[in-house]
Chain A
Amino acid sequence: DTGVSQDPRHKITKRGQNVTFRCDPISEHNRLYWYRQTLGQGPEFLTYFQNEAQLEKSRLLSDRFSAERPKGSFSTLEIQRTEQGDSAMYLCASSLAYEQFFGPGTRLTVL
C-alpha cells in the first residue's frame, strides 16, 4: 500500500496520560499535515511541515500538543496530559503539489 498510513488506528487512554501517534506519508511527498476531526464536523487544521520544517501551527493547538518530522519523512504527534476534549479522529495528510491525500486516521478516546 503506497498511501498515507497512520499508527495506531485506535487509542484508548485515561485522562492525564500522554499519547503519541505516527504518520507515514506517501513516499516523496514533502508536505505533511495534521488535522483533527470530531463527529459531524469537517477536519480542522492543526499543523503542517514542509520537509522537516514546521511551517504553521493552529492557534487551537495548545502547548500540550507537539509534532515533529525529524528526517522529513514520517511524523509524530504527541499529546501530553490528555483531556476528554482531546477525543477525536486525528488525520494525517501528505502532498507534493496542491492535492492532499489523507491517511485512515487515529481515533483517540480519552476516558
Chain B
Amino acid sequence: GENVEQHPSTLSVQEGDSAVIKCTYSDSASNYFPWYKQELGKRPQLIIDIRSNVGEKKDQRIAVTLNKTAKHFSLHITETQPEDSAVYFCAGGTSYGKLTFGQGTILTVHP
C-alpha cells in the first residue's frame, strides 16, 4: 500500500518568510496529491492539490510542485502570515479513492 512521509515535523518562521514542506510517496499508482490545513480543534481543510499530469500549481501565496520520477511533492507558502500557523498534512492517493496522509507539519509563523 501507499506510504507517505512528511518533513519537517515542525517549522518555525518569521512573518513574511517562506515555508516549505516536503513529502515523499511510495506507490507509483498514486496520481492525486492534496494538501490540507488543520487548525486546532477544526476539520482538515483542502488548500491546494495537484494531479500527476501537472508539475506545478499555484494559488496566490501557495504553490505545490510534484516530481513523479523521484516520487516527491512539496508545498511552498510565500509571505507567511500569523494566520498561516496550523498543522499541514500532505496526502497521496488515486483518483476517487482513499487518501494516505503524512504525519503532519506544525507551522508556526511568528509576528
Contacts and interface: CB of A to CB of B under 8 A. Distances in A.
Interface of A: 31, 33, 40-45, 48, 50, 56, 91, 95, 97-105
Interface of B: 6, 32, 34, 36, 42-46, 49, 51, 89, 91, 95-104
A43 B43 CA distance: 11
B44 A45 contact: no
| The 7 A-B residue pairs with the shortest CB-CB distance in the complex, in nearest-first order | A42-B101, A45-B98, A102-B43, A42-B89, A102-B44, A104-B43, A43-B101
A45 B49 contact: no
B104 A41 contact: yes
Contact of B100 (A45, A102, A103): A45
B110 to A, nearest CB: 22
A48 B44 CA distance: 18
A53 to B, nearest CB: 13
B46 A101 contact: yes
A97 B104 CA distance: 24
Contacts of A104: 42-43
